Homo-oligomer: A and B are copies of this chain.
Amino acid sequence: MGMLGGGPGSFIGPVHRIAANLDGLIELVCGCFSSNPEKSAQTGDELFLPKERVYTSYQEMIEKEAALPEGERMDFLCIVTPNHLHYAPAAMAMEAGFHVALDKPVTYSLDEAKSLAEIAARTGRRILLTHTYSGYPLVKEARYRVKRGDLGKIRRVFVEYPQGWLSTDCAAVNKQAAWRVDPARSGKAGCMGDIGTHAFHLANYITGLKVKELCAELNSFVPGRLLDDDGTVMIRYEDGARCLLSASQVCAGVENGLNIRIYGEKGGLEWRQDTPNTMIFRPVDGVAEVIRTATASIVSPAAQHNSRVPGGHPEGFIEAFANLYRNFALTLMADAEQREPSECCLDYPSIEDGIEGMQFVDAVVGSSEQNAAWVKWER
């Protein structure tokens, strides 16, 4: 793969590189790591890349890579730049024949996301969207159990993503914060685009429910902040189930508290990202069970496929991230061998999830601007 972004000071660039590399299926072969050529070169050196494959612009990278012989050129382009710099390189890469891996949220706007979908369909290229959290084995187990009916008809979903790292006005000193709170780079939402979309994807992935309408209130607590740093969304699903989604980046002192709880007629499931190897199943009348990664308790083929070590050896964020890349790579390998990719391989977030995420951002912002009015979900 080639990488766009992820130069010095990047948080998510190195994570993508480690995750892609973890299973030995993907090799980083080129990159344009920074708009500053010196920084790009520095990162290239640190990664043992040959100098001629460290580029100074994505245009150069795509053109020169496309000119390389098959088998030598990159197979796909990984884009880890801020949101406003996703669309153009992704579009150009696909037009040039490359698949694409994109950090979330997929684009700056819904229109851009739809356009990427059109290009992907036309060019036959695949898109990986790194909603990491659906890569955890127990999230897959949850999806499986919901589908199997362990919970009966679902009634109530709670999904929360609290963080505290934007509790202060840290944009001046924190590069990660700076672009996230800037409408020109982040898009029309701040917190809801950055982490609300993760929560929304997680609920969709596990439950498979379809949104009918939603109402939302977005808040901006830190003085001077232009985008939301906190928000609440009430979601009505088409079949009558309800979801309460909250996301906040001003929960002082909280690290990364993504969690989901789902209750149906027959039972409930509870999972937290900060203890990702444990999930609680609560039968409506009975004793709660402790479902654990990689023990007898995992029954879903997808969960087993996405776990690497025996029970009791904690798996974490990087492994979840690597699961996305591994499945994407296995799919590309199947394509290359003209085999049908298995369901387990195709189990990675893609452009459809990206469109849903951008639609979510639009709907949430729209509702909030109308004082939390109900907004219908368009299909």
Chain A residues engaging chain B, CB cutoff 8 angstroms: 11, 14-15, 17-18, 21-24, 28, 47-48, 151, 155-156, 158, 160, 162-164, 167-168, 215, 217, 219, 221, 230, 232, 234, 242, 244, 246, 248, 250-257, 261, 263-268, 273-277, 280, 282-292, 295-297, 308-319, 371-372, 374
Q: How many copies does the complex hold?
A: 4
Q: What are 19 A-B pairs with beta-carbon distances under 8 A?
A: A11-B309, A21-B21, A24-B47, A155-B219, A156-B219, A232-B234, A232-B242, A248-B263, A252-B268, A253-B282, A253-B284, A255-B295, A256-B311, A273-B312, A287-B296, A313-B317, A314-B316, A315-B318, A318-B319
A317 contacts B311, CB within 8 Å? no
A274 to B277, CA, bound (A): 9
Measured between beta carbons, the chain B residues less than 8 angstroms from A310 are: 11, 256
Q: A21-B22, A244-B232, A290-B289 are in contact. Are A252 and B284 (CB under 8 A)?
A: yes
Question: Is the Cβ of B290 less than 8 Å from the Cβ of A296?
Answer: no
B284, A287: Cβ atoms closer than 8 Å: no
Contacts A21-B22, A158-B246, A273-B312 aside, 12 further interface pairs with beta carbons under 8 A come to A155-B230, A164-B284, A219-B242, A232-B234, A251-B261, A252-B267, A253-B283, A253-B286, A255-B292, A286-B296, A314-B316, A318-B318
Select A254's contact among B24, B219, B282, B308, beta carbons within 8 Å.
B282
Give the residues in chain B near A297, CB-CB below 8 Å: 286-287
A209 CB to nearest chain B CB (Å): 14
Q: With a CB–CB cut-off of 8 A, which chain B residues contact A282?
A: 164, 252-254
